[in-house]
Amino acid sequence: MEVKILGGGCSKCERLEAETRAAAEALGIKATFTKVKLISEIMAYDVMSTPALVVNEQVYCYGRIPNQEEIKVWLQDAIP
C-alpha cells in the first residue's frame, strides 16, 4: 500500500503521518510512506489545503487531521 502525506512539512503533516503510521501498524498493514512537499506536486491532487492524506493515489482527506478510527476505515477500504 502506498501512503502519501501532502504538505510543506509543518507540525500538522508530521502528526498526520504519525497517526497514519500508527493506524497502519494497528491493522497490520504494510505501507510505504512518501512526503510530498512541493506545491506543484501537491496541486496534482484534488486538495485545497494541507495536510492531506493520499492512499494508493486517492485523496481521503485534506485540511484537517483525522482520528485513528477514520484512518483505519480508509486504510481497510484502500486494500485492493
Partner 1 sequence: MNITAFIVDILQSGFSGLGAYLAAHVLLCLLPAFFIAGALAALMPKEAITRFLGRDANKWVSYPASALGGFFLAVCSCTIMPLFASIYKKGAGLGPAITFLFVGPAVNILAISFTGVQIGLDIALARVILSMVFGVLIGLLMAWTFRKDDQDHAEKTANNQLFAAKAKVPTHVVVFFLLLLGILLAGTLQIGLFRNVFFEFSIKSDWAVELQGILTRLIPPDPGMGVESISVHGLVLIGFLILIALTAIKGFKDIFSGFNTWTYITLGLITLTLIIASLSVLVDMNGFVIGLNGRLVAEIVLISAIWWMSARFFSADERQEWLWETWRFVKQIFPLLLVGVFIASIARTLIPAVWIQTLAGQNTIWANMMAVVFGVFMYFPTLVEVPVAQTFLSLGMHRGPLLAYLLADPELSVQSILITNTVIGKKKTAVYVVLVAIFSTLAGLIFGWFIK
Among 26, 43, 73, 79, binds partner 1 (CB under 8 A): 43
Q: Does 40 interact with partner 1 (rule: CB under 8 A)?
A: yes
- CA count, 13 A, side-chain hemisphere, 31: 28
What separation in angstroms does the CA of 36 have from each of 13, 28, 29, 41, 69? 10, 24, 21, 7, 24
Cell 506543484 belongs to: 40
Q: CA triplet 73, 31, 7: central angle to 5 degrees?
A: 80
Taking the complex as a whole, how short is the minimal distance between the CB of residue 5 and partner 1, in angstroms? 12
Q: Which of 1, 70 has the CB closer to partner 1?
A: 70
Interface region with partner 1, contact rule CB under 8 A, candidates 20-28, 29-37, 39-47, 70-78: 39-47
Q: Which residues bind partner 1 (CB under 8 A)?
A: 7-8, 10-13, 38-40, 42-43, 46-51, 63, 65, 67
